[in-house]
Amino acid sequence: MAEPTRRAVAVNSDVHFGDNVTLVEPVNLYGCEIGNDVFVGPFVEIQKSVSIGSGTRIQSHSFICEFVNIGSDCFVGHGVMFINDLFASGGPARGDKTKWKSTNIGDRVSIGSNATILPVSICDDVVIGAGTVVTRDIFEPGIYAGNPCRKLRKL
């Protein structure tokens, strides 16, 4: 019987931390920048070229792929998935990062559990409901939900 390849849970040395950061292991962090007073729950992966603003909370089982910037005082619920590859050629880009897109999340944005965030820009002061699929940029503060995401009302 063959032995599996094992990879350790890790916080790589190329992660830049602000003050008072809390990590609940196991987490996988590499090549990212984490601001002051950030909380990262267990079973979270944050990839390189990601920036997390001060005071933000990332709950368990969330995945933040490359080229995502999250502002300050944000909340990312359990199981939130960020996507950077739109499968534009009919399948995965297979490491061709020129096909990957970026995501920018403003300040004071709350993203509910199990939301999926495609490569978009979201302005400040937005609430994204649980299970929402965000496929387009959000330019106005408010409460959004659904698949695809729709504005429900102003804040």
Domain boundaries, the chain: 16-85+98-153
**Residues tagged active-site:** 61
CA angle 141, 147, 153 (to 5 degrees): 30
Tokens of 88: 């534009």
Per-residue buried b or exposed e for 101-124, using 16+ beta carbons within 10 Å of the residue's own CB: eebbbbbbbbbbbbbbbbbbebbe
Cα 76 to chain centroid, rounded: 7
Please state the pTM of the whole predicted model: 0.92
Per-residue pLDDT tens digits of the chain, which is 155 residues long? 777 666 666 677 899 999 999 999 899 999 999 999 999 999 999 999 999 999 999 999 999 999 999 999 999 999 999 999 888 888 888 878 888 899 999 999 999 999 999 999 999 999 999 999 999 999 999 999 999 999 999 98
How far apart (Å, rounded) are the C-alpha atoms in residues 31 and 74?
Answer: 20
Per CATH, the number for 16-85+98-153 is 2.160.10.10
